[in-house]
Amino acid sequence: MQKALVLDAGKCTGCKQCELACSFEHEGIFNVSRSRIRVFIFEHEARFVPYTCTQCDQAWCMQVCPVGAITSDAATGVKSVNAATCVGCKVCTIACPFGTINYNAITGKVEKCDLCGGDPACARECPTGAITFIDSNLAGYEKMQDWAHKTDTAPQAAS
């Protein structure tokens, strides 16, 4: 079964616990700049929006990699970067329309979310439930349900 991260900005408080958990999981340090998940801060609206790689089916990053360093796991759908193969050309960072694959100047390689091998630290450590890891077939179901309920209660036009 493929699973997906679901990011609910309405529940995010901007605590950056997800960023800290990610950096510790992958780098062994608590440093938000070394995280593979980010929290956008919209100060004027007092809103916080977590974002990371969505493991998209199109995977433009994978398609443009000239050395085949980004591969897809058929069972999980995870697109992973093989650091031994990556030459650090950054073509994938340009191809990603979401800006979720980044160049690491320390290693000279690119990195992106790999869902922590099936137990994402960001979801595990999120104190508000803004980040969950669920069956990918259900990932959009809750939003569709909310939308359906809103349309049920919308005023009807007079005939």
Position 75 confidence tier, pLDDT thresholds 50, 70, 90: confident
Q: How far apart are the first and last CA of the chain?
A: 47
- Enclosing H/E stretch for 144: helix 141-153
105 and 122 in a common domain: no
pLDDT in tens, 98-143: 999 999 999 999 999 999 999 999 999 999 999 999 887 666 555 5
Q: What is the CATH number of the domain that holds 79?
A: 3.30.70.20
pLDDT in tens, 49-64: 999 999 988 899 999 9
How far, CA to CA in Å, does 14 sit from each of 48, 102, 108? 5, 21, 29
pLDDT in tens, 78-88: 999 999 999 99
Note the pTM of the prediction, 2 decimals.
0.81
- The amino acid present at 73, given as its one-letter code, is D
pLDDT at 153 over 90: no
Share of the chain above pLDDT 70, in %: 85
CB 52 within 8 A of CB 7: yes
Q: Say if 24 falls within a structural domain.
A: yes
140 and 93 in a common domain: no
Q: How many domains does the chain have?
A: 2
Residues 6+ apart with CB under 8 A from 158: none
102 and 61 in a common domain: yes
Q: Say if 158 falls within a structural domain.
A: no
Q: 50 φ, ψ to 5°?
A: -75, 145
120 and 48 in a common domain: yes
Q: Say if 159 falls within a structural domain.
A: no
8 and 38 in a common domain: yes
34 and 23 in a common domain: yes
CA proximity to 112, closest of 16, 22, 21:
22
Q: Which residues form the domain of 75? A: 56-112
